[in-house]
Amino acid sequence: MLAGGVAGAAAAYGVATQLRHPTKSHREPDGRFRTLTLRWPHADRDPVLIVARERGFFANYSLDVKTPGETPTGNSAISEIAQDHAVGAVAPALSWLPRLHDGIPAKLVAGLTAGSFRVLVRVKSGVTRLESIVGKTIATTDEDSADRRFFSVLLRRKGIDADRSVNWTLLPMNEVSGALAAGDIDGVVAHDPFAWTLLTAPGAGLKELAGSTTGLYAERVNLVLGLTDEFLDSDPDGSVALTLALRDTCRWIAAHTDEVSTLLSHHLTDMDDDAVDAMLAHEPRPVHLLGRWLRDQMAQYADELKLIGRLPDALDSGAFAKSICRNVLHV
């Protein structure tokens, strides 16, 4: 899953990454070699993971990071850390927060990338603005996906209950294009690279109605690294090493967009180099968060999840965000 963009000038890096924490208070890695297992959706095509491995950022911190098996969604990644020996998972914030509220024993330590959620509709569907989606049939590839939750928040801000007002249909990825072409569905909620492939397919006749790639949402983190309480308590130096490796990866991505495109092209074999370049150019600049900046955005997400009934109305979003986030670099 490509959930974060890498476009943007290196000059904007300081703002885009928002890595505002004092160096003098950092914990330092111990240099010990570790093999760590993470659950990471679509690990074979995630740019942060690809760069961390292929440019040696894990190796720089003496880490061998394993991502075994297929992890199709953020929710499944979170479930798997409660069932096996993975030390953590990467998943959308919109997936993490309800699970953490339900008691998954983990803490969020770093936001990694912005999101690339897209609401696509057929040009011939008659849908011209978000409000006119009411009564239409919209596909999702995961019944309780972050894509659907994002879309539901957008509609709720306009006074529309997406669960009641939209005809949702669950389809596997390989059936979405055919259903759109046949007119069986009016649109789909998805994220890149799948969403971009659908949108730009010759003759697809689709348009993007809304998304997270522009405006205020482009400054919001999407994929977040969470580590289990057991790992955080038993190996604090290991969590420091992993967090620093991913921090350095995100910094490098911000300053080397052309090289990221080349690396990613080798893994997105169903897209040519020009298509990958175009996709990355239409995604947000890097957003990487630690410490209180991560907590602040998680509180924002908590407020939004309350709007759509995924968190209780009475929840203190700020206190909740503080309870589920940990700055492992702080001494």
b or e along 131-162 (b: 16 or more beta carbons within 10 Å of the residue's beta carbon)?
Answer: eebbebbbbbbbeebbbbbbbbbbbbeeebeb
Handedness of CA 309, 311, 315, 316 (dihedral sign): negative
∠ CA(305), CA(322), CA(161), 5° rounding? 5
8 part of a folded domain: no
Note the pLDDT of residue 237: 96
Q: Which domain holds residue 258?
A: 34-115+220-324
Please name which of 181, 241, 222, 255 lies closest in space to residue 92, comparing C-alpha atoms: 222
**Among residues 148, 179, 211, which one ends one of the domains?**
211
Please name which of 35, 13, 88, 6 lies closest in space to residue 265, comparing C-alpha atoms: 6
For the chain, what is the domain count?
Answer: 2
Q: Do 39 and 106 fall into the same domain? A: yes
Residues 6+ apart with CB under 8 A from 266: none
Residues 6+ apart with CB under 8 A from 31: 62
Q: Do 96 and 143 fall into the same domain? A: no
Radius of gyration from C-alpha coordinates of the chain = 19
Note the pLDDT of residue 31: 86
Note the pLDDT of residue 25: 52
4 part of a folded domain: no
Query: Collapsing DSSP states into helix, strand and coil, what is residue 85?
Result: coil
Note the pLDDT of residue 307: 97
pLDDT per 10-residue tile (average), the chain, 331 residues: 40 41 61 95 94 97 94 91 88 97 97 95 93 95 90 95 95 94 95 95 94 93 97 96 96 91 92 93 90 97 97 98 96 69
Q: Rounded to whole angstroms, what are the CA distances from 268 to 133, 157, 271, 274, 304?
A: 32, 35, 6, 12, 33
Note the pLDDT of residue 85: 75
> Phi/psi zone of residue 203: left (φ > 0), alpha (ψ -120 to 50 degrees), beta?
left
Q: Do 232 and 317 fall into the same domain? A: yes
Note the pLDDT of residue 23: 43
What are 224's strand-pairing partners?
91, 111
Q: How far is the C-alpha of 310 from the C-alpha of 171, rounded, in Å?
A: 22
**Among residues 150, 180, 211, which one ends one of the domains?**
211
Query: Collapsing DSSP states into helix, strand and coil, what is residue 21?
Result: coil
Note the pLDDT of residue 330: 86
**Half-sphere exposure of residue 18: CA atoms within 13 angstroms, side-chain side:** 22
Q: Do 293 and 161 fall into the same domain? A: no
34-39/63-66 β-pairing: parallel
Note the pLDDT of residue 52: 97
Q: Do 252 and 236 fall into the same domain? A: yes
Query: Are the C-beta atoms of residues 26 and 216 closer than 8 Å to each other?
Result: no
Note the pLDDT of residue 4: 41
221-228/167-170 β-pairing: unpaired
